[in-house]
Every structure is written in structure tokens, then in C-alpha cells.
């Protein structure tokens, strides 16, 4: 089978490293983004630039989308001069985390134009995208998945097919993000308490990694972003806010009970209100430190305290 002409829209935090990876693997890639500066390194490697989503869909049979918001994803897929109007497009791969309701809407709109959709949210961050080591959770018809697989394989260390219905990958990704956030907040909370008690955070993190407290945050984020003092890893707190709100939305849609997610979302909102919304999510550690008592000891957030402490 002849390889499809591939396009990518959204050359941002995740889209640009994915595009660089595809270009370096020899893919004849067309790209589209409102920010010309984001396209410059791609053009330098031979990418063709299209003016808008429809122009990209008129040129390419397979398109990967990496968009910053639900509104952007809907506009790109179904809006005026969107993907649905393209003459060449056969399969559209949406890598953004949007929630199953929005993915259903995109799938229905594209299907009415004879275009298949692969719901393919990604995990691993920009470093993994750059070297083709993402985890990709794909759902959509087997025929569409087969058409897209060779291209997805260039981006993924783990490509997991979850079934024929677009939207189920969204549920899996949102749950994964929530589990990661819960582990991260627990680590930050524990480090903050340990520092107040006089423990060296480097040594305490070694304790985590030697026992059952080990997780992705203790192995990677604490050394790279906390102990280094950079407080930079993958993205802003606003992404965590979006994802945790999606967790509550999906739970309501599917009738599932939640215990931790509402409290994590509340913590995120408190940090956002304190000025951390557009800061790197690693600075949640600094926010949590700022809320601890200066002389150490226990402190409950006011909403959970029974005695007003």
C-alpha cells in the first residue's frame, strides 16, 4: 500500500516535537499552525506549510491534530474551512485530551463527510514525542486504525488499541492523567511535610524510590524539576486544571463515584487563584510549601478542618 500523504496541525508543545520526529523519519509532512515561528524548524527540515485546516485536508490523506483546547479542536475539525471540508482527507487522528462527549461530536461530524477518526490521546510529554517514545491510546474502526498505524508507530513506544468506538481512549487517558496527578500531589505533600520535619528532600525521595512510594514523579519529576530547582518539566498548571475537570465530567457522564478528584481539582483551583495557573505545574510544590506552617507541624486545609485551624 502506498504511504498516505501526512499532515499535522498544531505545532505547539506536543505537535512540534511530533512533527520533527516524523520529518526525521523521512515522512513527507505538511503542517499548519497560526504561529509562523513554530513552523520555522519544520520548514527547515522540508515540511510544506498549508494556510488553514481545509488546505491541509485538501492536500493530505492522513492528518494528526494536536490542539490546545476543545474550542480549537472543534473549530479545526468542523468549523469554516475545517478538516471536514477537505477533499483528500481519509483519516483524522486527534491526539488532544478533550473528553468523550467532544470526541463523539467530532467523530459524528467527520463521519458525515466520509472521514474516519482515530481518537488517540498521547502520554509522555515533549521529550518522548521528540524521540518516538509516546504512549498512544487509539480507538476507532479497525480499518481506520490499520490505515493510520504505520504513522502512529513512528511516534509511539507503546501503541494500545482500545476498540472501535472513538471516545473510549479519552476516558482511559483522563483516568491515567488523574492517577498521575494524585501520585504527584501526594509526593509534593509528602516532601513538604518532610522538609518541615527536618528531612533532606533528596534523601526522602530516595526513601520513596526504595519502597512502595515510588512513582513517575519520584523517579523523574522530583530529580529533574524539584531537586534541581528549575521547577520545569512538561507544561503549565492550566493543563492539569483542564484534565482534572474532565475527570469529573467523565465520571458524571458515566455515573461513576469519585473521592480524590474533586479535592485535587480544588487544590489546583486554589493554586491558580494564587497566581500559578500559567506557571509550570511543578510549581505546585512551591504553592504547597507556601501553605505549610512556617514552624512545621500539621495543618489542614480550612475546608477539611473541624476546629478551624
Q: Looking up cell 495543618, which residue turns up?
A: 299
Model pLDDT for residues 247-306, shown as the tens digit of each residue: 999 999 999 999 999 999 999 999 999 999 999 999 999 999 998 865 555 565 555 555
> How do strand 6-9 and strand 29-32 relate by DSSP bridges?
parallel
Using CA atoms, how far apart are residues 187 and 151, in angstroms rounded to an integer?
Answer: 36
Under 8 Å between Cβ of 83 and 76? yes
Using CA atoms, how far apart are residues 238 and 242, in angstroms rounded to an integer?
Answer: 6
Q: What cell numbers appear for 252 in the block?
A: 458524571
Main-chain phi, psi angles of 116, to 5 degrees: -85, 155
The answer to whether the pTM exceeds 0.75 is yes
Q: How confident is the model at residue 81 (pLDDT cuts 50, 70, 90)?
A: very high
Number of helices and strands in the chain (H, E): 13, 9
Strands (E), the chain: 6-9, 29-32, 48-49, 62-65, 91-94, 116-119, 122-123, 134-139, 156-163
pLDDT value of residue 234 = 75
Q: What cell numbers appear for 124 in the block?
A: 509522555
Mean pLDDT rounded to a whole number for the chain: 94
Model pLDDT for residues 83-124, shown as the tens digit of each residue: 999 999 999 999 999 999 999 999 999 999 999 999 999 998
Model pLDDT for residues 216-259, shown as the tens digit of each residue: 999 999 999 999 999 999 789 999 999 999 999 999 999 999 99
Using CA atoms, how far apart are residues 34 and 108, in angstroms rounded to an integer?
Answer: 26
Q: How confident is the model at residue 309 (pLDDT cuts 50, 70, 90)?
A: very low
Q: Where are the domains of the chain?
A: 6-165, 171-291
Under 8 Å between Cβ of 177 and 241? no
Of the candidates 147, 127, 2, the one whose C-alpha atom is nearest the C-alpha of residue 62 is 147
Q: What cell numbers appear for 57 in the block?
A: 485536508
Model pLDDT for residues 54-63, shown as the tens digit of each residue: 999 999 999 9
Model pLDDT for residues 156-194, shown as the tens digit of each residue: 999 999 999 999 999 999 999 999 999 999 999 999 999
> How do strand 29-32 and strand 134-139 relate by DSSP bridges?
unpaired
Q: Looking up cell 467527520, which residue turns up?
A: 110
> Which CATH number describes the domain made up of 171-291?
1.10.1040.10
> Which CATH number describes the domain made up of 6-165?
3.40.50.720
Amino acid at each position: 500500500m502506498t504511504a498516505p500523504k501526512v499532515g499535522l496541525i498544531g505545532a505547539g508543545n506536543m505537535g512540534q516535537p511530533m512533527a520533527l520526529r516524523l520529518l526525521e523519519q523521512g515522512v513527507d509532512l505538511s503542517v499548519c499552525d497560526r504561529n509562523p515561528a513554530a513552523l520555522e524548524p519544520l520548514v527547515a527540515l522540508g515540511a510544506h506549510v498549508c494556510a488553514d485546516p481545509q488546505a491541509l485536508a485538501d492536500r493530505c490523506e492522513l492528518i494528526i491534530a494536536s490542539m490546545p483546547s476543545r474550542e480549537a479542536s472543534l473549530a479545526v475539525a468542523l468549523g469554516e474551512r475545517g478538516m471536514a471540508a477537505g477533499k483528500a482527507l481519509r483519516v483524522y487522528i486527534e491526539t488532544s485530551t478533550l473528553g468523550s462527549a467532544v470526541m463523539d461530536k467530532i467523530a459524528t461530524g467527520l463521519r458525515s463527510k466520509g472521514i474516519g477518526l482515530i481518537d488517540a490521546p498521547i502520554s509522555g510529554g515533549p521529550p518522548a514525542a521528540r524521540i518516538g517514545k509516546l504512549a498512544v491510546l487509539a480507538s476507532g474502526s479497525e480499518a481506520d486504525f490499520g490505515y493510520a498505524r504505520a504513522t502512529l508507530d513512528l511516534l509511539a513506544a507503546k501503541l494500545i488499541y482500545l476498540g472501535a468506538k472513538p471516545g473510549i481512549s479519552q476516558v482511559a487517558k483522563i483516568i491515567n492523567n488523574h492517577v498521575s496527578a494524585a501520585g504527584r500531589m501526594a509526593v509534593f505533600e509528602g516532601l513538604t511535610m518532610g522538609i518541615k520535619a527536618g528531612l533532606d528532600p533528596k534523601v526522602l525521595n530516595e526513601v520513596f524510590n526504595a519502597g512502595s512510594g515510588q512513582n513517575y514523579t519520584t523517579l523523574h519529576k522530583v530529580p529533574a524539576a524539584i531537586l534541581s530547582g528549575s521547577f520545569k518539566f512538561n507544561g503549565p498548571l492550566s493543563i492539569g486544571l483542564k484534565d482534572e475537570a474532565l475527570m469529573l465530567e467523565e465520571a458524571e457522564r458515566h455515573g461513576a463515584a469519585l473521592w480524590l478528584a474533586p479535592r485535587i481539582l480544588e487544590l489546583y483551583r486554589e493554586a491558580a487563584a494564587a497566581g500559578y495557573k500559567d506557571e509550570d505545574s511543578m510549581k505546585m510544590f512551591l504553592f504547597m510549601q507556601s501553605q505549610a506552617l512556617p514552624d512545621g507541624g500539621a495543618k489542614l486545609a480550612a475546608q477539611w478542618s473541624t476546629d478551624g485551624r
